[in-house]
Structures are given as C-alpha cells and as structure tokens.
Amino acid sequence: MTVHPTAAVGVPTSELSGDKLRSYVRRWLDENLPAHFRVDRLSDRAPTLEESKAFEAAMYEAGLTGVTWPTQFGGRGRTLREHLIVSQEIGRTPMPESVNSIGKELVGPIVLGIGTPEQKAALLPAILEMREVWCQGFSEPGAGSDLAGLRTRAWREGNGWRVDGQKIWTSGAARSQRCLLLARTGVPEDRHRGLCLFAVPLDRAGIEVRTIRSMDGKDNFCEVFFDNVELTEDEALGAPDEGWSAALRVLAIERATNRMHRAWRFENELTHLVDAAMTDPGLRAALADGAVARQIGTTRVAIEVLKAHVEGAVSAITEGETVGARGSLSKLHWSEAHQRFAADAIALLSRAVLPHGVAVRAALERFRSIYLQARAETIYAGTTEIQLGIIADRVLRLPKG
Ligand SMILES: Cc1cc2nc3c(=O)[nH]c(=O)nc-3n(C[C@H](O)[C@H](O)[C@H](O)COP(=O)(O)OP(=O)(O)OC[C@H]3O[C@@H](n4cnc5c(N)ncnc54)[C@H](O)[C@@H]3O)c2cc1C
C-alpha cells in the first residue's frame, strides 16, 4: 500500500498552531485514512502489518508523529500542547492503535532522557520512519507486579555484554525489530539496584521469540528467550545502576502521558455506541430506560475526568513539574471506567431487535473487540491493585499496614 499525504494538506506543520494545526490534522486523517482502517464500519479485513507501517510512516511524513522530539533526531520540535492537539484528533478518528506505540511513546522519551547523542541519532529516526518497531521486555514469569524480582541477567564480557533469561507477555515481539530490555546486572538480592536497560536487536543470535495466543484469537503476546546473547557496549541505555530509575520513568510515562489520545478515543466510542443504538427500535427504547441513561451519563462524566487528567498532566509538564506517581490516577481511572463501559456497551447492544442492521453489526464488531481488550487494561502497565498501592503510598502518603 502506498499512502501519500494529499498535496492540499501537505503543509509543513511547523507553520501551523492552535486551531489551524487541529484542522490540518483532522483533514489529513480524513483524506488519508484508508477505508478498511476505520474501526467504526463493517470492514472486510483488518490492515496488515505492512499496511499499518506504511500508514504510520505517512503520518510521520505529514508531521503527526514525533511532534515533540528534537528536529536533529527527526522530530518536529513542537510543544507538548501541540502534541496534545494532534493526539486529540487521532483519538477522535476511529482508527487502529499504532503498531509501534512502545517505540514512539516509551522508548523515544527514554532514549531522549538517558541515551548518548550517538544512540539518539541511531535509534530515534528509525522509530519515526517505522524502520524499527519496538517491544518492551520487562515482565518475567516470576516478576510482573514485583518487577524488582526480575532474574534475566546481564554481565560484562570483553567490551560488551551477555544476556541470559526469559521475558513473558512481551506485546508485539514477533513483529518487532528491537526490544527495550530490563535486565539484572547485580545479584537478585539487590532488588532495585543493579538493573540496566538495553536496546536489543531481536535478530541477534541466541534470541527466540514464541507467540502466545490470547482469548481474542490474536498472536500478539510473546515469550522471548535470551540464551547467552551478545550485546555491544552501545546497546546499554544509561549507566548499569540507572536501570531502576529509568524503568520507573518508563512506567510513569506509560501511566500518565502514553497514548494521550485515549480519552478522545473513548469519547468517540461512546458517540458511536449511542449513534448505533438510535438506528434500532429496541436500543432506542433502551436508551430511554433510566438505568441505561444513567450508565451513559456516568461514562460521559468519566471521559471528562479523564480529559482533565490528561490536560492537567500536559500543563504540569509544560510548567516543569514531573507527573510521577500521579500518573497512576489516570491509568486507574481510564482502565476501570473503560472496562465498565465495554461491558455496558455489549449488554446494551444485545438488546437490539434488528441485530442484522449495518450500524448495529458494525458496533457489535467494534465493541466485542473493545470488550476483550478492556479485560487486559486493568492488568498491563501495572494492575489496579498496584496502582491503588502507589496512590496510597506515594500520592496520599498513607502509613503502611
Ligand atoms: C495485554 C497485556 C499486555 C502486556 N504487555 C506487556 C509488555 O509488552 N511488556 C511487558 O514487560 N509486560 C507486559 N504485560 C505484563 C504486565 O505488565 C503484567 O501482567 C502485570 O504487571 C501483572 O503481572 P503478573 O501478570 O505477573 O501478575 P502478578 O504480579 O502475579 O499479579 C497477580 C495478581 O496479584 C495482585 N498483586 C500482585 N502484587 C500485589 C501487591 N503488592 N498488592 C496487591 N495485589 C497484588 C495483582 O494485582 C494481580 O491481581 C502485559 C500484560 C497484558 C495483560
């Protein structure tokens, strides 16, 4: 597939800001998103990996990704507020999630934070141009919530490193070229000390990626095995002892500013649900039922709270503050509200009297997939219980039991 930004909207984004930037992004997406990418319509097929990569590369050419990254590393050098405008428009467009969100939203900021100039030049443009898709190798069979319990070892050998161990639940590893690996450079008893991040090329000898089928029938999850894998000196990111603080930064980004678009995507899903329901007499009657109306109202409020969280985080970061543990509030609020909404949406759609109507079928197809994904949202990037613990401990500073 070749996607070309149309000439009419191929304006350099550096000349645009505020409402002009917003209408440029809206129009670009409108004119360039292939019809079968739209997740609110009945589609014959989902995009292939190659199609997704080509489309995301075109988004980059059009100035829609790498918005805040420095220009010398391929970014647009714009403000976080401008990134928010672009994210809001992406959220409002019913399109698939990026296949390289780990690269763009987690690896990019961390490499900008702790990478050497050479690492930034080598790694960052490859992410934006979609030449390198990344995965995140943190969790292990015995270390999920308790990440400090991880056992994958890295030790110095000659001028470089060797790595040995196993990761699990590595989303997208089978389609990735690189893995952001967290490994132990000290002994297990060191817990938070003696950890290091690595930028591991997945085609290196000794690495085996095995897919795990999930309940939605997808093969996105993987196990990644490292058998005495050789890494070069410049594949370590940051100092050997910097791994834990760097990992915490990755997790804070993951919870606070990663996928900023999701509040606006959530709003798009709610609008889609109500519009589809209005086409069916049974669902229209259900909307008039007080209990359903209350659920929809509650969801609407949850979305507004979530938008306020995102806008608050952008203001805080713009004013030089760090979001840190407060990112857990957004993650917890979004995952819990979205999971409830997905269950309510499926329950509502099951009351259709014309389930074969095009609008109801399209909504059912979309919300079945959202329902299954939402089950995982209260687990990944730290479970609900872990977020509650962080809020109690580091936001409210409650005494420990
Ligand atoms: C869809 C999906 C994608 C993922 N993608 C990735 C990825 O790309 N890379 C990656 O590294 N990992 C990924 N993960 C793994 C994810 O980070 C872990 O599943 C998560 O951290 C939980 O760890 P665990 O599965 O080992 O469960 P456990 O840590 O064993 O937790 C089991 C249960 O015990 C509870 N629990 C554990 N500790 C505490 C505590 N201290 N207080 C209260 N309750 C507690 C948990 O809340 C949970 O209910 C993904 C997971 C999912 C579901």
Is residue 4's pLDDT more than 90? no
Band (387; pLDDT cuts 50, 70, 90): very high
Q: What is the pTM of this model?
A: 0.94
% of the chain beyond a pLDDT of 70: 96
**pLDDT value at residue 12:** 57
**pLDDT value at residue 255:** 65
Asked if the structure places residue 157 within a domain, the reply is yes
Average pLDDT of the segment spanning 121-131: 98
Structure tokens at 273: 């649900």
Band (377; pLDDT cuts 50, 70, 90): very high
**pLDDT value at residue 1:** 42
Of 230, 249, 233, the closest CA to residue 114 belongs to 249
Instruction: Look up the domain containing 74 and give its range.
Output: 18-99
Work out which ligand 1 atom sits closest to the CA atom of 382: 21
Annotated catalytic residue 319: no
Work out which ligand 1 atom sits closest to the CA atom of 102: 8
Is residue 7's pLDDT more than 50? no
Asked if the structure places residue 113 within a domain, the reply is no
CA atoms of 253 and 110, how far apart (whole Å): 9
The answer to whether 201 touches 166, Cβ cutoff 8 Å, is: no
Asked if the structure places residue 64 within a domain, the reply is yes
Is residue 2's pLDDT more than 80? no
315 CB-side CA count, 13 A: 6
**pLDDT value at residue 394:** 92
Asked if the structure places residue 118 within a domain, the reply is no
Structure tokens at 170: 């590595």
Is residue 154's pLDDT more than 50? yes
Helix (H) or strand (E) holding 28: helix 18-32
Same domain as 278, residue 173: no
Quote the number of domains for the chain: 3
CA atoms of 145 and 149, how far apart (whole Å): 9
Asked if the structure places residue 78 within a domain, the reply is yes
Q: What is the CATH number of the domain that holds 353?
A: 1.20.140.10
Can you list the pairs that 233-236 forms with residues at least 24 positions away whose Cβ atoms lie under 8 Å? 233/159, 233/160, 233/161, 234/116, 234/118, 234/119, 235/160, 235/161, 235/198, 235/199, 235/200, 235/201, 236/154, 236/161, 236/196, 236/197, 236/198
Spacing, Cα 31 to ligand 1 middle (Å): 39
Q: Which of 48, 75, 99 is the endpoint of a domain?
A: 99
pLDDT tens, 244-280?
A: 888 887 777 766 667 899 999 999 999 999 999 999 9
Same domain as 58, residue 26: yes
Asked if the structure places residue 121 within a domain, the reply is no
Q: What is the CATH number of the domain that holds 48?
A: 1.10.540.10
Average pLDDT of the segment spanning 366-384: 95
Q: Which of 50, 83, 99 is the endpoint of a domain?
A: 99
Band (401; pLDDT cuts 50, 70, 90): confident
Top mutation candidate among 110, 136, 139 for ligand 1, by most atoms within 8 Å of CB: 139
**pLDDT value at residue 209:** 98
Same domain as 227, residue 275: no
pLDDT tens, 295-336?
A: 999 999 999 999 999 999 999 888 888 888 888 999 999 999
**pLDDT value at residue 13:** 65
Of 342, 273, 271, 260, the closest CA to residue 306 belongs to 260
Asked if the structure places residue 8 within a domain, the reply is no
Spacing, Cα 128 to ligand 1 middle (Å): 29
Q: What is the CATH number of the domain that holds 218?
A: 2.40.110.10
Average pLDDT of the segment spanning 50-63: 97
Is residue 65's pLDDT more than 50? yes
Q: Which of 239, 272, 291 is the endpoint of a domain?
A: 239
Q: Which among 89, 132, 254, 267 is annotated as catalytic? A: 254
pLDDT tens, 75-95?
A: 999 999 999 999 999 999 999
Q: CB under 6 Å to ligand 1: residues?
A: 135-139, 144-145, 169-171, 376, 379-380, 382-383, 385-386, 389
Spacing, Cα 146 to ligand 1 middle (Å): 8
Nearest CA to ligand 1 atom 32: 145
Asked if the structure places residue 288 within a domain, the reply is yes
**pLDDT value at residue 400:** 85
Same domain as 218, residue 303: no
Nearest CA to ligand 1 atom 16: 380
Same domain as 70, residue 25: yes
Average pLDDT of the segment spanning 200-219: 95
